[in-house]
Structure 1
């Protein structure tokens, strides 16, 4: 994992006051989308009549994505970008973008054109109601079933662990007040859990439905492994939030369940040993008797295992 010194910062000299809005866009091999995305971002942001900056974070792209942003930056001083030498993951890319951002309000969205920058005014309107983080909710998703079903399970489990309900923790389209980002450092898959970490620090969280477009170019860079990593990081989040003062509750309850199961298994094996002289459940010389161990076997497997165990006892007896 590259450290801070291995990053390349392509920032314009700036002597102006901080902008009102920062937009952080991580990308990885999105050469077909970046120019279109830039046009959409500028059009939407200029309509707000607020100052802004665009922070593109190149997460180790191997195509021409970086050169496209560098070319755009030559004609627009509002563009800054950061380059990772290798793909380091979305959390690290976002974290570096957050640290470089200067706006009081910080948008994040993906570079694949599935998020719609024309939604910016709705996010701002919502956050000005007194919220600290507004998360997008892809209510009507244009993703294949193999992405929607795991996502639904993920959101259900995360809501239960977090102690509050969001329909779409995984949506990358969000608006933050900058003070949230000053308190949170991202790594692993923790970018999915920023609302949870913020909620347990006392910030106000809400969500709004957003339009979700089908990906016009390329294919998703994520596979099933992200859900595996995500659930491990969910355990970390649980430890850092609701169990930070009572970690024994997190580890103790599963420990008690495992202890109880171990005691039951040990008791059953001890009963077989003392009652029948063997943990197989019958004594030598009485191979035809049905044993308690057979109760836990399927009919076919039970007959086969019972037969082989009986034959072994007969051979031992004859020997």
Structure 2
């Protein structure tokens, strides 16, 4: 039985040695064969040099350096494409996901699930990041009718088949949770411990989470167009009823003028929202159609 542990890395030079030791300790204690695939997402610190030193000490550590900062999801996808394990685990590089919880995830997936998400009992994130996480969770619920009981996180274990389906994705806009909801039918959440961040500050903030939620909605659903269409239909119906009322039952002209101004204002507002929606969809579509991959590899040692 081989386990592949995929770690997207960004500015985590101080945490990587401890993360490696803890993963190794968990695996060797149980006699599990494993590989650790670290993908450096163009860090600004010495993360890649630390990865090289770990690789020199242990050839089970496979390292990849991306040519440009592609984002956590694309870096994780890159690691999945080089994973060879029977089970694939993805874990963050900041030590907030305890590797000691991996055996519990494995025990749960052995019950017949395709993917198990390790969800914190209590998130040790700042308020704004928790708010962003809830926003993304609500977005996934709107798009995929995700059950409220299914919570998702970047700490997860999946079987080889599921990892292979993810790795085969050729989209430019990558959001792994959305891809998993499209492809799997047997997913479950498991509450796990969540530690405080030991080094540095998180690279996520509320504005990034909001941008991610918008990209998710516009890249993976037609919901905004549906909302705009229904709003236009409602405004058209309101205008028709308003016009018929004053055609058959003329009344106070000031009321008629006020209602007309309201309808004109609605048309202008909806026109503006339609333009914004079209611009966002066009931006996402052009990104998908430009033919470039979501990441590029500068060098790797496997």
1:117 partnered with 2:99 = yes
Partner of 1:233: 216
Measured at CA, do residues 125 and 261 of structure 1 come closer, stay the same or move farther in structure 2, by a change above 3 Å? same
TM-aligned CA distance change 1:41 to 1:296, over 3 Å = farther
Matches within 5 A, 1:176-195: 176-184=158-166, 185=169, 187-195=172-180
1:52 maps to 2:34: yes
Q: Compute the displacement of 1:269 (Å).
A: 6.5
Secondary structure of 1:82's counterpart equals strand
Higher relative contact order (CA 8 A, sep 6+): 2
TM-score, length-scaled by structure 1: 0.71
CA shift, 1:40, in A, is 0.9
Residue aligning to 1:39: 21
Q: Which of these residues, 238, 253, 260, is aligned with residue 264 of structure 1?
A: 238
Please state whether the residue corresponding to 1:216 is helix, strand or coil. Answer: coil
Match of residue 48 from structure 2? 66
Instruction: Note if contact 2:118-2:152 (Cα within 8 Å) is conserved in structure 1.
Output: no
Q: How many residues align?
A: 258
What is the distance in 2 between the residues matched to 1:31 and 1:272? Answer: 72
Task: Name the SS for the 1:182 alignment partner.
Answer: helix
Which structure's CA Rg is the greater one?
A: 1
Partner Cα separation in structure 1 for residue 129 and residue 71 of structure 2: 19
Q: How does 1:163-174 map to 2 (within 5 A)?
A: 163-165=145-147, 169-174=151-156
Q: Give deviations 1:135-193, integer Å, cap 9, x for gaps.
A: 11112111121122232243234234323325575511000111112223264341232
Q: Find the counterpart in structure 2 of residue 315 from structure 1.
A: none
Of Structure 1 and Structure 2, the greater helix share is in 2
Instruction: Give structure 1 stretches of 5+ with no counterpart.
Output: 1-18, 240-248, 283-289, 299-319
Does the aligned pair in 2 maintain the 1:169–1:193 contact within 8 Å?
no
Corresponding residue of 1:102: 84
What is the alpha-carbon distance in structure 2 between the residues aligned to residue 237 and residue 179 of structure 1? 22
The answer as to 2:192 corresponding to 1:210 is yes
TM-score, length-scaled by structure 2 = 0.75
Contact 1:23 1:54 in 2 (8 A): yes
Aligned partners of 2:139 and 2:216 also within 8 Å: no
Which digits, 9 at most, give the CA deviation of each residue in 1:100-142, with x for residues without a partner?
Answer: 0000100001001100000011011001111110011112111
Residues 246-278 of structure 1 show CA distances to partners (whole Å, capped at 9, x for unaligned) of xxx9956752442231342365478779999xx
Q: Distance in 1 between matches of 2:90 and 2:134?
A: 22
Alpha-carbon separation, structure 2, partners of 1:39 and 1:180: 27
Q: CA RMSD in A?
A: 3.0
Q: Secondary structure at the match of 1:183?
A: helix
- Kept in 2, the 8 Å contact 1:90–1:189? The answer is no
